[in-house]
Chains A and B, each alone.
Chain A
Amino acid sequence: MNLSFLRVSIWVYLALFFLYLLGPLVIMSVTAFNSSAFPRMTPWECLTFQWFGDLFQDQRILNGIKNSLIIGAGTVVLSVAMGLAGALMLTQIWPKLRATYYTIIIAPILIPGVVLGISTLVFWDRINRMLGLGADSVLSNGVFLTVIGQSTFIASYCMLVLVARLQRYDMALTEAALDLGATHAQAFRKILLPFMRPAIASAAVLAFLASFENYNTTTFTFGEYPTLTIELAQKVRYGITPSISALAFIIVALTVFFALLNEAKLKRQELVAAARKNATVEELAGKIKLPSFFAGNMAAVLLVVFAVATITVVGTATAYNPAQCIANVKEEKRLEAEQRIQELRKQREEQRKKREAEEAEQGDAGQSAPKPSNNSGFGNVFAPNTLGSGEEESQDTETPPANNGGFGGVFDPNSLKSE
Chain B
Amino acid sequence: MSAGVGVDLENLWIRFGDFVAVRDANVNINGGDFFSFLGPSGCGKTTILRAVSGFLDPSEGKVLIGGNDMRGIGPNKRPTALIFQNLALFPLMKVWENITFSMEIKGASASQRRKRADELLDMIALPGQGDKLPSELSGGQRQRVAIARALCAEPDVLLLDEPLSALDLKLRQHMRTELREIQQRVGITFIYITHDQGEALTMSDNIAVMRAGVIDQIADGKTIYNDPNTAFAASFVGENNVFRGKIKQIMGTEALIATNRSGDLVARISSANQGKMKEGDEAMMFIRPEAFAIAAEGASGNHFVTARVNHEEFEGNVFNIFTEGEGGKEIKVSIPNHGQSFQDHTGQNITLEYETHNAVLVPAGELAAE
8 contacts between A and B (CB under 8 A): A170-B88, A173-B90, A173-B91, A181-B106, A182-B101, A190-B105, A284-B132, A285-B131
The one of A172, A177, A183 in contact with B101, judged by C-beta atoms closer than 8 angstroms, is A177
Of residues 150 through 189 on chain A, the ones whose CB sits less than 8 Å from some CB of chain B are 170, 172-173, 175-183, 186
Give the docked Cα–Cα distance between A179 and B307 (Å).
Answer: 56
CB distance from A351 to the nearest CB of B (A): 87
Contacts of A190 in B (CB 8 A): 101, 104-105
The one of B75, B104, B129 in contact with A178, judged by C-beta atoms closer than 8 angstroms, is B75
- In the complex, B1 has a CB within 8 A of chain A: no
A288 nearest in chain B by CB position: B131
Give the docked Cα–Cα distance between A60 and B231 (Å).
Answer: 87
Are B105 and A181 neighbours in the complex by a CB distance under 8 Å?
A: yes
The one of A175, A183, A194, A195 in contact with B84, judged by C-beta atoms closer than 8 angstroms, is A175
Contacts of B92 in A (CB 8 A): 194-195
Contacts of A186 in B (CB 8 A): 105
Are B88 and A173 neighbours in the complex by a CB distance under 8 Å?
A: yes
Are B75 and A179 neighbours in the complex by a CB distance under 8 Å?
A: yes
Are B55 and A175 neighbours in the complex by a CB distance under 8 Å?
A: yes
Contacts of A281 in B (CB 8 A): 128-129, 132
The one of A172, A180, A284, A285 in contact with B105, judged by C-beta atoms closer than 8 angstroms, is A180
Count of chain B residues with Cβ under 8 Å from any Cβ of A? Answer: 31
- In the complex, A66 has a CB within 8 A of chain B: no
Contact with A along B123-160 (1 / 0, CB 8 A): 00000110111001000000000000110010000000
Contacts of B90 in A (CB 8 A): 173, 176-177, 191
Q: A179-B54, A181-B102, A276-B136 are in contact. List 13 more A-B contacts (CB 8 A).
A: A172-B84, A172-B86, A175-B88, A176-B90, A177-B105, A178-B55, A179-B53, A180-B150, A181-B76, A181-B106, A182-B105, A186-B105, A284-B132
| Contact A176-B82, Cβ < 8 Å, known A276-B136, A277-B136 | yes
CB distance from B50 to the nearest CB of A (A): 9
Contacts of A180 in B (CB 8 A): 76, 81, 101-102, 105, 149-150, 153
CB distance from A185 to the nearest CB of B (A): 11
Contacts of B55 in A (CB 8 A): 175, 178-179
Contacts of B102 in A (CB 8 A): 180-181
A187 nearest in chain B by CB position: B76
A191 nearest in chain B by CB position: B90
CB distance from B299 to the nearest CB of A (A): 59
Give the docked Cα–Cα distance between A341 and B92 (Å).
Answer: 78
B74 nearest in chain A by CB position: A178
Residues of B in contact with A (beta carbons under 8 Å apart): 53-55, 74-77, 80-82, 84, 86, 88-92, 101-102, 104-106, 128-129, 131-133, 136, 149-150, 153
A284 nearest in chain B by CB position: B131
Residues of A in contact with B (beta carbons under 8 Å apart): 170, 172-173, 175-183, 186, 190-191, 194-195, 276-277, 281, 284-285
Give the docked Cα–Cα distance between A263 and B132 (Å).
Answer: 25
A-B interface, 6 closest residue pairs, ranked by CB to CB distance from nearest = A172-B88, A176-B88, A180-B102, A179-B82, A178-B75, A182-B105
Give the docked Cα–Cα distance between A333 and B92 (Å).
Answer: 67
A169 nearest in chain B by CB position: B91
CB distance from A183 to the nearest CB of B (A): 6
Give the docked Cα–Cα distance between A308 and B106 (Å).
Answer: 49
Contacts of A284 in B (CB 8 A): 131-132
Contacts of B91 in A (CB 8 A): 173, 195
Contacts of A179 in B (CB 8 A): 53-55, 75-76, 80-82
CB distance from B301 to the nearest CB of A (A): 58
Are A183 and B76 neighbours in the complex by a CB distance under 8 Å?
A: yes
A195 nearest in chain B by CB position: B92
CB distance from A269 to the nearest CB of B (A): 13
A171 nearest in chain B by CB position: B88
Contacts of A176 in B (CB 8 A): 82, 84, 88-90
Give the docked Cα–Cα distance between A277 and B138 (Å).
Answer: 12
Give the docked Cα–Cα distance between A179 and B84 (Å).
Answer: 10
Contacts of A173 in B (CB 8 A): 88, 90-91
Give the docked Cα–Cα distance between A136 and B358 (Å).
Answer: 93
A277 nearest in chain B by CB position: B136
A176 nearest in chain B by CB position: B88
CB distance from B171 to the nearest CB of A (A): 20
Give the docked Cα–Cα distance between A195 and B93 (Å).
Answer: 10
Give the docked Cα–Cα distance between A74 and B150 (Å).
Answer: 42
Give the docked Cα–Cα distance between A232 and B129 (Å).
Answer: 58
Contacts of B105 in A (CB 8 A): 177, 180-182, 186, 190
Are B153 and A181 neighbours in the complex by a CB distance under 8 Å?
A: yes
A180 nearest in chain B by CB position: B102
A174 nearest in chain B by CB position: B88
CB distance from B355 to the nearest CB of A (A): 49
Contacts of A285 in B (CB 8 A): 128, 131
Contacts of B129 in A (CB 8 A): 281
Are A170 and B86 neighbours in the complex by a CB distance under 8 Å?
A: yes
Contacts of A172 in B (CB 8 A): 84, 86, 88
Give the docked Cα–Cα distance between A186 and B131 (Å).
Answer: 23
CB distance from B7 to the nearest CB of A (A): 15
Give the docked Cα–Cα distance between A183 and B107 (Å).
Answer: 13
Give the docked Cα–Cα distance between A96 and B88 (Å).
Answer: 27
Give the docked Cα–Cα distance between A178 and B50 (Å).
Answer: 12
Give the docked Cα–Cα distance between A381 and B55 (Å).
Answer: 90
Give the docked Cα–Cα distance between A190 and B106 (Å).
Answer: 13
Contacts of B132 in A (CB 8 A): 281, 284
Give the docked Cα–Cα distance between A170 and B82 (Å).
Answer: 15
Contacts of B77 in A (CB 8 A): 181
Give the docked Cα–Cα distance between A216 and B105 (Å).
Answer: 48
CB distance from B336 to the nearest CB of A (A): 44
Contacts of A177 in B (CB 8 A): 90, 101, 105
Are B76 and A178 neighbours in the complex by a CB distance under 8 Å?
A: yes
Give the docked Cα–Cα distance between A284 and B132 (Å).
Answer: 7
Contacts of A276 in B (CB 8 A): 133, 136
Give the docked Cα–Cα distance between A182 and B149 (Å).
Answer: 13
Give the docked Cα–Cα distance between A172 and B82 (Å).
Answer: 11
B54, B86, B105, B132 pick with most chain A CB within 10 angstroms: B105
Give the docked Cα–Cα distance between A29 and B247 (Å).
Answer: 98
Contacts of B131 in A (CB 8 A): 284-285
Contacts of A175 in B (CB 8 A): 55, 75, 82, 84, 88
